[in-house]
């Protein structure tokens, strides 16, 4: 059993109360502008921006600090095409056969359908994999803890980072997503978690008129 090693946390910053209030308000105002978009421009984005956002995602807290995630950044048009074709096949089955009526009703306000052109248009598809367990170099398995929670948190950081860098995203979850492991040749300990489509929005992009719940609906102070 390895012993913990503690170092002084000298990166923490405390702000005067007024500044703290302002920072919280500014952050909320900026996050409120984020919208999931479904039409992307094909304009290229420097890879270095994606790299820094991924570095930020990699700072996320995770169960036992196991960092059970892997990000495959797809910009190759041939691979994007393969992903689009496989995703659309699943989505066709979903929208026309598999999805229960109640699910389709829940999705109706978003105007989604089985066509996923953005999977080819957007400059980047960041395919996020969750590592259900780790693999030692001798092939033995390492148990991972709180995998979905950890990968979900890292994904949130990534979405936030891309947004504040000035990019738009779409969290896309074709179901089932096993085809991503095949196309991207991922090891058996990983399962696709979601595809984060990233890039500039298409000109004059339109988004569904939806609202977010008010604070008193999402939080209770006792
Ligand atoms: N995976 C499908 C359906 C879908 C499901 C949910 I829940 C959404 O919030 C949006 C879409 C699709 O991507 O179209």
Pick among 3.40.109.10, 1.10.10.10, 3.20.20.70, 1.20.58.100: CATH of 42-218: 3.40.109.10
pLDDT band at 1 (very low <50, low <70, confident <90, very high): confident
Q: Which residues of 111-144 are buried (b: 16+ CB within 10 A; e: fewer)?
A: eeeeebebbbbbbbbbbbbbbeeeeeeeeeeeeb
Q: Convert the pLDDT of each residue in 106-133 to its tens digit.
A: 999 998 999 999 999 999 999 999 999 9
Q: What is the mean pLDDT of the chain?
A: 97
User: What order of strands is seen across the sheet that includes strand 168-172?
Assistant: 69-74, 124-131, 190-199, 168-172
Nearest to 169 by CA among 140, 198, 195: 198
* pLDDT score of 115: 96
* pLDDT score of 133: 97
Q: What is the Å distance from ligand 1's center to 14 Cα?
A: 40
Q: What is the Å distance from ligand 1's center to 173 Cα?
A: 6
User: Quick one: average pLDDT of 141-162?
Assistant: 98
Least reliable range by pLDDT among 75-84, 106-115, 185-194, 213-222: 106-115
- Is the CB of 116 within 6 Å of ligand 1? no
- Is the CB of 91 within 6 Å of ligand 1? yes
- Is the CB of 175 within 6 Å of ligand 1? yes
- pLDDT at residue 59 greater than cutoff 90: yes
* pLDDT score of 96: 94
Nearest to 60 by CA among 166, 183, 188, 147: 147
The answer to whether 39 and 205 are in contact (CB under 8 A) is yes
Q: What is the Å distance from ligand 1's center to 174 Cα?
A: 7
Q: Convert the pLDDT of each residue in 11-43 to its tens digit.
A: 999 999 999 999 999 999 999 999 999 999 999
User: Quick one: average pLDDT of 68-80?
Assistant: 98
The answer to whether 124 and 50 are in contact (CB under 8 A) is yes
pTM for this entry: 0.96
User: Quick one: average pLDDT of 199-209?
Assistant: 97
- Is the CB of 59 within 6 Å of ligand 1? no
Q: What is the Å distance from ligand 1's center to 34 Cα?
A: 18
Which atom of ligand 1 is closest in space to residue 113's alpha carbon?
Answer: 14
Domain boundaries, the chain: 42-218
Q: What is the Å distance from ligand 1's center to 117 Cα?
A: 14
Inter-axis angle of helices 147-165 and 17-32, to 10 degrees? 90
- pLDDT at residue 67 greater than cutoff 90: yes
């Amino acid at each position: 059993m390895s012993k913990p090693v503690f170092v002084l946390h000298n990166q923490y910053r405390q702000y005067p109360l007024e500044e703290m209030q302002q920072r919280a308000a500014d952050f909320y105002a900026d996050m409120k502008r984020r919208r999931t978009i479904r039409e992307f421009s094909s304009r290229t984005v420097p890879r270095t921006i994606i790299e820094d956002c991924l570095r930020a995602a990699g700072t996320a807290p995770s169960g036992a600090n196991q960092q059970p995630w892997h990000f495959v950044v797809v910009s190759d048009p041939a691979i994007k095409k393969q992903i689009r074709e496989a995703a659309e096949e699943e989505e066709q089955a979903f929208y026309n056969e598999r999805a229960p009526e109640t699910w389709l009703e829940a999705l109706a306000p978003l105007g989604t359908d089985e066509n996923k052109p953005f999977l080819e248009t957007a400059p980047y598809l960041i395919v996020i994999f969750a590592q259900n367990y780790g693999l030692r170099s001798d092939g033995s398995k390492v148990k991972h803890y709180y995998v979905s929670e950890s990968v979900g948190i890292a994904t949130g950081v990534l979405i936030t980072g891309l947004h504040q860098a000035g990019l738009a995203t779409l969290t896309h979850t074709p179901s089932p997503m096993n085809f991503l492991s095949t196309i991207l040749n991922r090891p058996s300990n990983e399962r696709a978690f979601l595809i984060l489509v990233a890039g500039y929005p298409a000109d004059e992009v339109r988004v569904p008129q939806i609202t977010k719940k008010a604070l008193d609906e999402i939080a209770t102070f006792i």
